[in-house]
């Protein structure tokens, strides 16, 4: 969560709000000042408080026009009704709300089936507040598994398998985690919080994510795992999970290092099973130990719900699971959070019941079709170059051609004037020279809306072209990690 600091020095206000908000007593609202730093002594009628807060929230952007976020911004009225009915249920109270717990169990099993778990009866999994918590849990399991290994000193990559005469390592080195520089920031947080060395593979040229060769080159006997991303937030591309696994298989043959893979499928794990069924990225690959996804992204649920599943009980060390006697029931838990509403889990199960495989396929295909249509339309305008097309995740990135007189930050600002929230940001270290715009197509963003965005982009181009030759300011760069 974002950390906030207290602010001082706000001017004293004596003027109030709209007098009509207070109904029978206009003078009450006329003298009311919204609290900023401390509670008022008196109370307000609920309708008055609702209207006052609504007024301030009008300053937020329109969520449906937010093309920066991966998070679901539209659900059916029936889903909203179900969530309202479940918002008062504490997800952790399994004994008091046994059917909500049962829906969570069913969701875990459904995902394990989607991701080809070899033995559905042996999987371990749970819901989380989102992919960030799920990644933290998966990282903890990787580190604990590594700490229990009976490692030997083997002389580094390519040094051959450990021999019988080599000494056992009584003091293992610092654990490390190999991943691309395009990982979501939660992985860097995990490494900082749990004292793991992050071995980030930088971008290079036109390579914007992790590759098998780059991953293996950074592994050693203290590598707790490799993180492969099924759907990079920077450009929507899949990382080559099967190639990474094959390279790690070869590495184990040479060195004896059994390095597991975690697939961060925050977005792609709810796209690939339906649109790319022949792509091998999941538990069909024996080295894949765990997978996470965000139910509130392409799982089509409002925030916040995520999921993490381990291929079998051996992949989740038992000492990390706590059996808690809580409110009359004994339950196993593995979480960073405790109390949270059951509404999102109920909504996830609703989407599974409502859509089925064919419904999910239709929804995700529609998003991919809109993304490809929109990227093609933007490419045809002339001033822009595509990095990706939206044919993996329904997400694509594009930049301005070197010969135009405006940059992506100018474009983002002009589109915002029309209500479109299209992020502009620079890529990480080694490619900070590359600044792009990224568009995330989600369910509810239709062909009609895409055409309206194209029309607005065409409309601002003449104004942008008048900027010709103005120096570009790198200080305007922003970063998005949604």
pLDDT one-digit tens code per residue, 277-321: 999 999 999 999 999 999 999 999 999 999 999 999 999 998 898
Under 8 Å between Cβ of 208 and 237: yes
Q: What per-residue string of b and e applies to 141-165 under the rule 16 or more CB within 10 Å gives b?
A: bbbbbbeeeebbebeeeeeeebeee
The residues near 456 (Cβ < 8 Å, ≥ 6 apart) are: 415, 418, 420
The secondary structure element, H or E, covering residue 306 is strand 306-310
Specify the pLDDT at position 91: 85
pLDDT band at 242 (very low <50, low <70, confident <90, very high): very high
| Residue of 447 and 153 predicted with greater confidence | 447
CA 409 – CA 477 distance, rounded (Å): 7
Tell me, what's the pLDDT at 149? 84
CA-to-CA distance for 237 and 230, rounded, in angstroms? 7
8 Å CB contact between 74 and 304: no
Share of the chain above pLDDT 90, in %: 72
Q: What angle do CA 197, 219, 221 make, to 5 degrees?
A: 85
The secondary structure of 314-340 as a DSSP string is GGS-GGG-EEEEETTEEEEE--S----
Q: Higher model confidence: residue 21 or residue 382?
A: 382
Instruction: Choose between 52 and 114: higher pLDDT.
Output: 114
| Integer Cα distance of 345 and 341 in angstroms | 8
* Residue 269 DSSP label: G
Nearest of 231, 155, 225, 230 to residue 197 by alpha carbon? 225
Once rounded to an integer, what is the mean pLDDT over residues 395-405?
Answer: 95
Q: What distance in Å separates the CA atoms of residue 117 and residue 123, rounded to the nearest whole number?
A: 7
Separation in Å, CA 156 to CA 166, 167, 172, 189, 218: 13, 14, 14, 27, 10
Residues whose CB is less than 8 angstroms from the CB of residue 469 and which lie 6 or more positions away in sequence, other chains included: 405
Radius of gyration over every alpha carbon of the chain, rounded to an integer in angstroms: 25
**Mean pLDDT lowest among 114-123, 163-172, 225-234:** 163-172
pLDDT for 231 equals 96
pLDDT over threshold 80, residue 397:
yes
Q: Answer whether 395's CB lies under 8 Å from 371's CB.
A: yes
pLDDT at 24: 56
Q: How far apart are CA 271 and CA 364, in angstroms?
A: 6
For the chain, give the percent of residues with pLDDT over 70: 84
pLDDT of residue 159: 45
With a cut of 50, say whether residue 164 has pLDDT above it: no
User: 97-106, 169-178, 464-473 — which one is most confidently predicted on average?
Assistant: 97-106
CB 316 within 8 A of CB 278: no
Q: Is the pTM of this model over 0.85?
A: yes
Per-residue pLDDT tens digits for 324-382: 665 555 667 788 888 889 999 999 999 999 999 999 999 999 999 999 999 999 999 99
Whole-number Cα distances in Å, 209 to 196, 201, 228: 21, 8, 9
Half-sphere exposure of 119 (CA within 13 A, CB side): 7
Position 339 scores a pLDDT of 86
pLDDT at res. 157: 44
Phi, then psi, of 469 in degrees rounded to 5: 85, -5
Residue 45 has pLDDT above 90, yes or no: no
pLDDT tens, position by position, 54-63: 999 999 988 9
Given a contact cutoff of 8 angstroms between Cβ atoms, the answer to whether 422 and 68 are in contact is yes
Share the mean pLDDT of the chain. 88
pLDDT band (50, 70, 90) for residue 33: confident
N-terminal to C-terminal alpha carbon distance within the chain:
13
pLDDT recorded at residue 481: 47
Helices (H), 300-420: 343-379, 408-416
Decide if pLDDT at 151 tops 90. no
Q: Average of pLDDT values for 391-410?
A: 96
Contact 70, 267 (CB under 8 A): yes
What's the CA angle centered on 425, arms 421 and 426, to 5 degrees?
170
Range of lowest pLDDT (22-36, 55-69, 175-189, 348-362): 22-36
Residue 150 DSSP label: -
Confidence of residue 470 (pLDDT cuts 50, 70, 90): low
């Amino acid at each position: 969560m974002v950390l906030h600091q207290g602010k001082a020095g706000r001017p004293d206000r004596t003027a109030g709000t709209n007098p009509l908000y207070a109904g029978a007593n206009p003078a009450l609202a006329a003298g009311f000042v919204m609290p900023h730093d401390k509670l008022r002594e008196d109370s307000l009628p609920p309708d008055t408080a609702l209207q006052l807060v609504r007024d301030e929230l009008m300053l937020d952007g329109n969520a449906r026009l937010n093309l920066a976020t991966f998070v679901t911004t539209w659900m059916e009225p029936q889903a909203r009704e179900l969530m309202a009915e479940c918002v008062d249920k504490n997800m952790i109270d399994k004994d008091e709300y046994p059917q909500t717990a049962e829906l969570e169990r069913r969701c875990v099993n459904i995902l394990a089936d989607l991701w080809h778990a070899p033995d559905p009866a042996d999987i371990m999994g749970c819901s989380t507040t989102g992919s960030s918590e799920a990644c933290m849990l998966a990282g903890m399991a990787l580190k604990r598994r590594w700490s229990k290994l009976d490692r030997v000193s083997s002389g580094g990559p390519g040094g051959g398998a450990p021999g019988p005469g080599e000494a056992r390592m009584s003091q293992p080195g610092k654990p490390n985690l190999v991943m691309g520089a395009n990982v979501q920031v939660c992985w860097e947080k995990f490494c900082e919080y749990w004292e793991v060395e992050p071995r980030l593979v930088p971008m290079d040229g036109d390579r914007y994510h992790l590759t098998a060769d780059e991953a293996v080159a950074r592994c050693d006997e203290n590598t707790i795992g490799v993180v492969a991303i099924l759907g990079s937030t920077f450009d929507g591309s899949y990382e080559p999970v099967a190639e990474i696994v094959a390279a790690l298989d070869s590495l184990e043959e040479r060195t004896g290092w059994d390095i597991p893979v975690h697939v961060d499928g925050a977005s792609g794990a709810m796209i690939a099973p339906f649109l790319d069924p022949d792509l091998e990225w999941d538990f069909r690959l024996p080295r894949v130990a765990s997978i996470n996804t965000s139910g509130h992204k392409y799982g089509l649920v409002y925030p916040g719900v995520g999921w993490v599943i381990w291929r079998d009980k051996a992949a989740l060390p038992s000492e990390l699971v706590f059996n808690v006697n809580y409110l009359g029931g004994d339950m196993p838990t593995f979480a960073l959070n405790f109390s949270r509403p059951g509404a999102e889990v109920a909504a996830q199960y609703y989407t599974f019941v409502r859509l089925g495989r064919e419904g999910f396929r239709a929804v995700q295909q529609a998003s991919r079709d809109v993304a490809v249509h929109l990227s093609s339309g933007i490419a045809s305008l002339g001033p822009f170059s595509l990095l990706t097309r939206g044919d993996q995740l329904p997400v694509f990135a594009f930049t301005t051609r070197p010969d135009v007189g405006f940059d992506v930050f100018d474009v983002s600002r002009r589109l915002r004037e029309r209500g479109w929230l299209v992020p502009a940001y620079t890529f990480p270290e080694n490619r900070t020279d590359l600044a792009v715009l990224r568009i995330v197509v989600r369910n509810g963003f239709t062909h009609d809306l895409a055409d309206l965005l194209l029309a607005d982009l065409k409309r601002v181009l003449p104004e942008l072209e008048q900027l010709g030759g103005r120096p570009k300011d790198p200080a305007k760069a922003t970063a998005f990690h949604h």
